[in-house]
Protein backbone atom coordinates (compact mmCIF):
# COMPACT_ATOMS: atom_id res chain seq x y z
CA UNK A 1 0.00 0.00 0.00
CA UNK A 2 1.26 3.43 -0.83
CA UNK A 3 2.19 5.39 2.21
CA UNK A 4 1.85 8.91 1.02
CA UNK A 5 -0.19 10.00 -1.95
CA UNK A 6 -0.30 13.51 -3.36
CA UNK A 7 -3.15 13.73 -5.82
CA UNK A 8 -3.36 16.89 -7.91
CA UNK A 9 -1.97 18.88 -4.98
CA UNK A 10 -1.77 22.62 -5.55
CA UNK A 11 -1.14 25.79 -3.63
CA UNK A 12 -2.42 29.23 -4.47
CA UNK A 13 -1.78 32.05 -2.03
CA UNK A 14 -4.43 34.54 -1.00
CA UNK A 15 -2.83 37.17 -3.21
CA UNK A 16 -3.37 34.96 -6.25
CA UNK A 17 0.20 33.74 -6.55
CA UNK A 18 0.26 30.14 -7.65
CA UNK A 19 3.21 28.54 -5.88
CA UNK A 20 2.37 24.98 -6.96
CA UNK A 21 -0.02 24.45 -9.87
CA UNK A 22 -0.52 20.71 -9.54
CA UNK A 23 1.60 17.81 -8.40
CA UNK A 24 0.90 14.08 -8.41
CA UNK A 25 3.14 11.80 -6.46
CA UNK A 26 2.73 8.33 -5.01
CA UNK A 27 5.24 7.26 -2.41
CA UNK A 28 5.61 3.65 -1.38
CA UNK A 29 6.23 2.46 2.14
CA UNK A 30 9.79 2.96 3.30
CA UNK A 31 10.80 5.01 0.29
CA UNK A 32 13.25 7.87 0.61
CA UNK A 33 12.02 10.65 -1.65
CA UNK A 34 14.08 13.79 -2.16
CA UNK A 35 12.49 16.99 -3.40
CA UNK A 36 15.18 19.01 -5.10
CA UNK A 37 15.21 22.27 -6.97
CA UNK A 38 16.57 25.80 -6.89
CA UNK A 39 15.33 28.22 -4.25
CA UNK A 40 11.82 29.43 -4.89
CA UNK A 41 10.77 26.29 -6.77
CA UNK A 42 8.14 25.41 -4.19
CA UNK A 43 9.85 22.42 -2.62
CA UNK A 44 9.60 23.73 0.94
CA UNK A 45 6.02 24.81 0.38
CA UNK A 46 5.16 21.30 -0.76
CA UNK A 47 6.82 19.78 2.29
CA UNK A 48 5.03 22.18 4.60
CA UNK A 49 1.74 21.28 2.96
CA UNK A 50 2.38 17.64 3.70
CA UNK A 51 3.28 18.59 7.26
CA UNK A 52 0.10 20.58 7.68
CA UNK A 53 1.88 23.87 8.34
CA UNK A 54 0.59 25.29 5.08
CA UNK A 55 -2.97 24.87 3.89
CA UNK A 56 -3.68 22.86 0.74
CA UNK A 57 -5.58 24.81 -1.93
CA UNK A 58 -6.54 21.88 -4.13
CA UNK A 59 -6.19 18.13 -4.42
CA UNK A 60 -5.95 15.32 -1.89
CA UNK A 61 -3.22 14.36 0.50
CA UNK A 62 -3.42 10.79 1.71
CA UNK A 63 -1.29 9.27 4.45
CA UNK A 64 -1.75 5.50 4.65
CA UNK A 65 -4.99 5.86 2.77
CA UNK A 66 -6.51 8.51 5.04
CA UNK A 67 -7.29 11.89 3.62
CA UNK A 68 -5.51 14.37 5.91
CA UNK A 69 -5.96 17.68 4.07
CA UNK A 70 -7.61 19.39 6.99
CA UNK A 71 -5.96 17.62 9.89
CA UNK A 72 -3.71 19.42 12.34
CA UNK A 73 0.02 18.60 11.98
CA UNK A 74 -0.01 16.64 15.22
CA UNK A 75 -2.89 14.46 14.02
CA UNK A 76 -1.20 13.50 10.76
CA UNK A 77 1.33 11.27 12.45
CA UNK A 78 4.30 12.90 10.81
CA UNK A 79 7.55 14.24 12.24
CA UNK A 80 9.59 17.06 10.85
CA UNK A 81 13.23 18.10 11.14
CA UNK A 82 13.70 21.80 10.51
CA UNK A 83 16.56 23.61 8.88
CA UNK A 84 17.53 25.43 12.08
CA UNK A 85 16.45 22.39 14.15
CA UNK A 86 13.95 24.45 16.20
CA UNK A 87 14.87 22.84 19.52
CA UNK A 88 13.12 24.30 22.54
CA UNK A 89 15.93 26.32 24.11
CA UNK A 90 14.68 26.10 27.67
CA UNK A 91 14.24 22.35 27.70
CA UNK A 92 16.85 19.67 28.19
CA UNK A 93 17.60 17.28 25.36
CA UNK A 94 15.43 14.69 27.08
CA UNK A 95 12.48 17.06 27.40
CA UNK A 96 12.89 18.19 23.82
CA UNK A 97 12.53 14.63 22.63
CA UNK A 98 9.79 13.77 25.10
CA UNK A 99 7.60 16.82 24.54
CA UNK A 100 5.57 15.43 21.65
CA UNK A 101 4.92 12.17 23.48
CA UNK A 102 3.94 14.05 26.62
CA UNK A 103 1.41 16.06 24.67
CA UNK A 104 -0.04 12.84 23.32
CA UNK A 105 -0.57 11.77 26.91
CA UNK A 106 1.66 8.73 26.86
CA UNK A 107 2.61 7.31 30.24
CA UNK A 108 5.88 8.53 31.74
CA UNK A 109 7.55 5.14 31.86
CA UNK A 110 6.83 4.51 28.20
CA UNK A 111 8.19 7.92 27.22
CA UNK A 112 11.34 7.17 29.12
CA UNK A 113 11.86 3.84 27.39
CA UNK A 114 11.32 5.35 23.96
CA UNK A 115 13.53 8.38 24.52
CA UNK A 116 16.32 6.28 25.92
CA UNK A 117 16.14 3.84 23.04
CA UNK A 118 16.38 6.62 20.48
CA UNK A 119 19.11 8.39 22.43
CA UNK A 120 21.12 5.22 22.38
CA UNK A 121 20.63 4.78 18.67
CA UNK A 122 21.87 8.32 18.03
CA UNK A 123 24.62 8.33 20.66
CA UNK A 124 22.93 11.00 22.75
CA UNK A 125 22.84 9.22 26.12
CA UNK A 126 25.48 11.48 27.62
CA UNK A 127 23.71 14.63 26.51
CA UNK A 128 20.18 13.99 27.75
CA UNK A 129 20.39 16.45 30.62
CA UNK A 130 22.00 19.23 28.60
CA UNK A 131 20.32 22.31 27.23
CA UNK A 132 20.46 22.95 23.47
CA UNK A 133 22.85 25.90 23.87
CA UNK A 134 25.44 23.54 25.33
CA UNK A 135 25.44 21.41 22.19
CA UNK A 136 27.46 21.60 18.99
CA UNK A 137 25.94 21.91 15.53
CA UNK A 138 26.06 18.20 14.80
CA UNK A 139 24.56 17.37 18.17
CA UNK A 140 21.72 19.83 17.56
CA UNK A 141 21.05 17.99 14.35
CA UNK A 142 21.00 14.64 16.11
CA UNK A 143 18.62 15.84 18.80
CA UNK A 144 16.30 17.23 16.16
CA UNK A 145 16.32 13.85 14.45
CA UNK A 146 15.83 12.11 17.76
CA UNK A 147 12.81 14.24 18.44
CA UNK A 148 11.36 13.11 15.15
CA UNK A 149 12.26 9.45 15.61
CA UNK A 150 10.88 9.15 19.12
CA UNK A 151 7.38 9.72 17.84
CA UNK A 152 7.67 6.74 15.49
CA UNK A 153 5.73 8.59 12.78
CA UNK A 154 4.34 7.26 9.52
CA UNK A 155 6.32 9.84 7.56
CA UNK A 156 9.55 11.75 8.23
CA UNK A 157 9.83 15.21 6.76
CA UNK A 158 13.21 16.89 6.43
CA UNK A 159 13.52 20.55 5.46
CA UNK A 160 17.12 21.15 4.34
CA UNK A 161 18.40 19.70 7.60
CA UNK A 162 22.07 19.76 6.68
CA UNK A 163 22.48 23.25 5.31
CA UNK A 164 23.56 24.73 8.65
CA UNK A 165 26.44 22.30 9.07
CA UNK A 166 30.00 22.59 7.84
CA UNK A 167 31.00 20.57 4.79
CA UNK A 168 32.66 17.69 6.63
CA UNK A 169 29.85 17.21 9.11
CA UNK A 170 27.35 17.41 6.30
CA UNK A 171 28.84 14.40 4.57
CA UNK A 172 28.93 12.47 7.82
CA UNK A 173 25.33 13.29 8.74
CA UNK A 174 24.19 12.49 5.22
CA UNK A 175 25.48 8.96 5.54
CA UNK A 176 23.99 8.69 9.01
CA UNK A 177 20.54 9.85 7.93
CA UNK A 178 20.51 7.34 5.11
CA UNK A 179 21.56 4.51 7.42
CA UNK A 180 18.97 5.40 10.03
CA UNK A 181 16.21 5.63 7.49
CA UNK A 182 17.07 2.20 6.11
CA UNK A 183 17.14 0.76 9.61
CA UNK A 184 13.81 2.30 10.60
CA UNK A 185 12.18 1.79 7.24
CA UNK A 186 10.12 4.96 7.64
CA UNK A 187 8.82 6.70 4.57
CA UNK A 188 10.75 9.92 4.15
CA UNK A 189 10.31 13.15 2.29
CA UNK A 190 13.45 15.23 2.19
CA UNK A 191 13.90 18.72 0.79
CA UNK A 192 17.25 20.05 -0.37
CA UNK A 193 18.72 22.35 -2.96
CA UNK A 194 21.98 20.43 -2.97
CA UNK A 195 22.08 17.97 -5.82
CA UNK A 196 24.85 15.86 -4.27
CA UNK A 197 22.69 15.32 -1.20
CA UNK A 198 19.76 14.57 -3.44
CA UNK A 199 21.66 12.00 -5.51
CA UNK A 200 23.21 10.19 -2.57
CA UNK A 201 20.14 10.01 -0.35
CA UNK A 202 17.24 9.41 -2.65
CA UNK A 203 15.49 6.23 -3.68
CA UNK A 204 13.61 8.49 -6.02
CA UNK A 205 14.18 12.13 -6.83
CA UNK A 206 11.59 14.75 -7.62
CA UNK A 207 13.08 17.70 -9.46
CA UNK A 208 10.90 20.75 -9.01
CA UNK A 209 10.94 23.84 -11.19
CA UNK A 210 8.54 26.72 -10.57
CA UNK A 211 6.12 24.45 -8.77
CA UNK A 212 6.11 21.75 -11.45
CA UNK A 213 7.57 18.31 -11.03
CA UNK A 214 9.99 18.33 -13.97
CA UNK A 215 10.96 14.73 -13.52
CA UNK A 216 10.50 11.94 -11.01
CA UNK A 217 12.79 8.96 -10.95
CA UNK A 218 15.80 7.23 -9.46
CA UNK A 219 18.95 9.33 -9.27
CA UNK A 220 20.57 7.24 -11.99
CA UNK A 221 17.58 7.53 -14.31
CA UNK A 222 17.67 11.28 -13.92
CA UNK A 223 21.38 11.38 -14.51
CA UNK A 224 21.29 9.15 -17.55
CA UNK A 225 18.09 10.35 -19.16
CA UNK A 226 17.17 13.84 -17.98
CA UNK A 227 13.73 14.75 -19.27
CA UNK A 228 14.52 18.41 -19.85
CA UNK A 229 17.40 20.83 -20.02
CA UNK A 230 16.47 22.00 -16.53
CA UNK A 231 16.97 18.55 -15.04
CA UNK A 232 20.04 18.02 -17.20
CA UNK A 233 21.72 21.08 -15.79
CA UNK A 234 20.50 20.57 -12.24
CA UNK A 235 21.65 16.98 -11.80
CA UNK A 236 25.36 16.31 -12.03
CA UNK A 237 28.32 18.45 -11.11
CA UNK A 238 29.75 20.25 -12.99
CA UNK A 239 26.49 20.55 -14.86
CA UNK A 240 25.91 19.28 -18.39
CA UNK A 241 27.31 21.23 -21.32
CA UNK A 242 24.51 22.50 -23.51
CA UNK A 243 24.99 24.03 -26.93
CA UNK A 244 22.20 25.24 -29.19
CA UNK A 245 22.63 23.73 -32.63
CA UNK A 246 20.75 22.57 -35.69
CA UNK A 247 20.38 19.30 -37.55
CA UNK A 248 20.31 19.32 -41.31
CA UNK A 249 20.27 16.24 -43.51
CA UNK A 250 21.59 13.97 -40.82
CA UNK A 251 24.36 16.36 -39.84
CA UNK A 252 24.63 18.09 -36.49
CA UNK A 253 26.00 21.60 -36.89
CA UNK A 254 27.83 22.05 -33.61
CA UNK A 255 30.63 24.55 -33.94
CA UNK A 256 31.88 26.68 -36.83
CA UNK A 257 33.99 23.83 -38.09
CA UNK A 258 32.30 20.89 -36.47
CA UNK A 259 29.76 18.80 -38.32
CA UNK A 260 28.86 15.45 -36.85
CA UNK A 261 26.85 12.66 -38.37
CA UNK A 262 23.66 12.30 -36.46
CA UNK A 263 20.38 10.37 -36.55
CA UNK A 264 17.14 12.04 -37.50
CA UNK A 265 15.08 13.91 -34.92
CA UNK A 266 11.56 15.31 -35.12
CA UNK A 267 12.86 18.83 -35.06
CA UNK A 268 15.97 20.49 -36.41
CA UNK A 269 16.41 23.22 -33.81
CA UNK A 270 17.90 21.39 -30.86
CA UNK A 271 19.87 21.83 -27.65
CA UNK A 272 22.70 19.42 -27.78
CA UNK A 273 24.19 18.32 -24.50
CA UNK A 274 26.95 16.14 -23.11
CA UNK A 275 28.17 15.64 -19.58
CA UNK A 276 31.68 16.95 -18.82
CA UNK A 277 32.79 13.47 -17.73
CA UNK A 278 31.82 11.85 -21.05
CA UNK A 279 34.19 13.92 -23.15
CA UNK A 280 37.64 12.64 -24.15
CA UNK A 281 40.70 14.55 -25.27
CA UNK A 282 42.12 13.59 -28.64
CA UNK A 283 44.66 15.14 -31.02
CA UNK A 284 43.23 18.14 -32.84
CA UNK A 285 43.16 16.51 -36.26
CA UNK A 286 40.92 13.63 -34.99
CA UNK A 287 38.66 15.89 -32.95
CA UNK A 288 34.89 16.23 -33.17
CA UNK A 289 35.08 19.61 -31.55
CA UNK A 290 37.80 22.05 -30.58
CA UNK A 291 37.88 23.79 -27.23
CA UNK A 292 39.63 27.05 -26.40
CA UNK A 293 41.10 26.43 -22.93
CA UNK A 294 40.44 29.24 -20.44
CA UNK A 295 41.12 27.75 -17.03
CA UNK A 296 42.24 24.48 -15.53
CA UNK A 297 41.20 23.24 -12.10
CA UNK A 298 43.37 20.40 -10.91
CA UNK A 299 41.69 18.54 -8.06
CA UNK A 300 44.22 15.71 -7.84
CA UNK A 301 41.96 12.80 -8.65
CA UNK A 302 40.43 14.69 -11.53
CA UNK A 303 40.96 17.76 -13.66
CA UNK A 304 38.32 20.23 -14.79
CA UNK A 305 39.10 22.10 -17.99
CA UNK A 306 36.98 25.19 -18.57
CA UNK A 307 36.90 26.66 -22.01
CA UNK A 308 34.65 27.78 -24.81
CA UNK A 309 33.37 26.38 -28.05
CA UNK A 310 32.98 28.67 -31.03
CA UNK A 311 29.58 28.14 -32.60
CA UNK A 312 29.65 31.04 -35.04
CA UNK A 313 32.13 33.81 -35.91
CA UNK A 314 31.05 36.04 -33.02
CA UNK A 315 29.41 33.56 -30.64
CA UNK A 316 31.03 31.30 -28.09
CA UNK A 317 29.61 28.86 -25.60
CA UNK A 318 31.20 27.83 -22.29
CA UNK A 319 32.15 24.17 -22.12
CA UNK A 320 33.62 22.06 -19.32
CA UNK A 321 35.54 18.85 -19.57
CA UNK A 322 36.13 16.56 -16.64
CA UNK A 323 39.02 14.16 -16.88
CA UNK A 324 40.32 11.70 -14.36
CA UNK A 325 43.92 12.07 -13.32
CA UNK A 326 46.14 15.04 -13.89
CA UNK A 327 46.24 16.98 -17.14
CA UNK A 328 47.88 20.29 -17.94
CA UNK A 329 46.77 21.73 -21.27
CA UNK A 330 48.13 25.14 -22.20
CA UNK A 331 45.79 27.95 -21.36
CA UNK A 332 44.73 29.92 -24.41
CA UNK A 333 45.44 27.02 -26.78
CA UNK A 334 42.79 24.90 -28.50
CA UNK A 335 42.49 21.22 -27.64
CA UNK A 336 40.64 18.50 -29.50
CA UNK A 337 37.60 16.80 -27.98
CA UNK A 338 35.80 13.60 -28.84
CA UNK A 339 32.08 13.52 -28.04
CA UNK A 340 30.85 9.92 -28.42
CA UNK A 341 27.34 9.70 -29.75
CA UNK A 342 26.04 7.32 -27.07
CA UNK A 343 26.69 10.05 -24.50
CA UNK A 344 24.66 12.72 -26.28
CA UNK A 345 21.55 14.27 -24.85
CA UNK A 346 19.32 16.05 -27.32
CA UNK A 347 16.56 18.42 -26.31
CA UNK A 348 13.99 20.31 -28.30
CA UNK A 349 15.25 23.90 -28.40
CA UNK A 350 11.75 25.30 -27.96
CA UNK A 351 10.10 23.06 -25.37
CA UNK A 352 13.45 22.19 -23.70
CA UNK A 353 12.13 18.59 -23.45
CA UNK A 354 14.27 15.59 -24.22
CA UNK A 355 13.82 14.13 -27.70
CA UNK A 356 14.89 10.74 -29.01
CA UNK A 357 16.06 9.81 -32.52
CA UNK A 358 13.22 8.88 -34.87
The contact set with another protein (CB under 8 A) reads 51-53, 72-74, 78-80, 82-84, 86-91, 99-100, 103-104, 133, 147
Cα 150 to its chain centre, rounded Å, is 26
Dist. CA 190–CA 144, nearest whole Å: 14
| Beta pairing class for 258-261 and 289-298 | unpaired
Dist. CA 99–CA 212, nearest whole Å: 36
Minimum CB–partner distance for residue 148 and another protein (Å): 9
Dist. CA 207–CA 109, nearest whole Å: 44
Minimum CB–partner distance for residue 165 and another protein (Å): 16
Dist. CA 67–CA 56, nearest whole Å: 12
Minimum CB–partner distance for residue 141 and another protein (Å): 14
Nearer to another protein, 165 or 321 (CB): 165
Nearer to another protein, 77 or 268 (CB): 77
Minimum CB–partner distance for residue 160 and another protein (Å): 11
Minimum CB–partner distance for residue 244 and another protein (Å): 43
Nearer to another protein, 164 or 200 (CB): 164
Cα→Cα distances 96→92, 110, 129, Å:
6, 16, 10
Nearer to another protein, 84 or 312 (CB): 84
Dist. CA 284–CA 274, nearest whole Å: 19
Nearer to another protein, 96 or 253 (CB): 96
Contacts of 182 (CB under 8 A, 6+ apart): none
Amino acid sequence: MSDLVLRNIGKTYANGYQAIPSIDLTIEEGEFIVLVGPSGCGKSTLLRMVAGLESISQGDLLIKGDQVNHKEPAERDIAMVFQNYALYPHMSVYDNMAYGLKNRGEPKSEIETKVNAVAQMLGLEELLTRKPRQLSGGQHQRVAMGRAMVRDPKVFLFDEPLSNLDAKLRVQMRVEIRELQRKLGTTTLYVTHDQVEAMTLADRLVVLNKGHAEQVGTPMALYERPASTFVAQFIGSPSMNLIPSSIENGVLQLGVDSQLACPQFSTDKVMWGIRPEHVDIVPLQDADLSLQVKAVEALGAETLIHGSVKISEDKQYPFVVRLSGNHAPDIGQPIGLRVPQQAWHVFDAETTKRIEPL
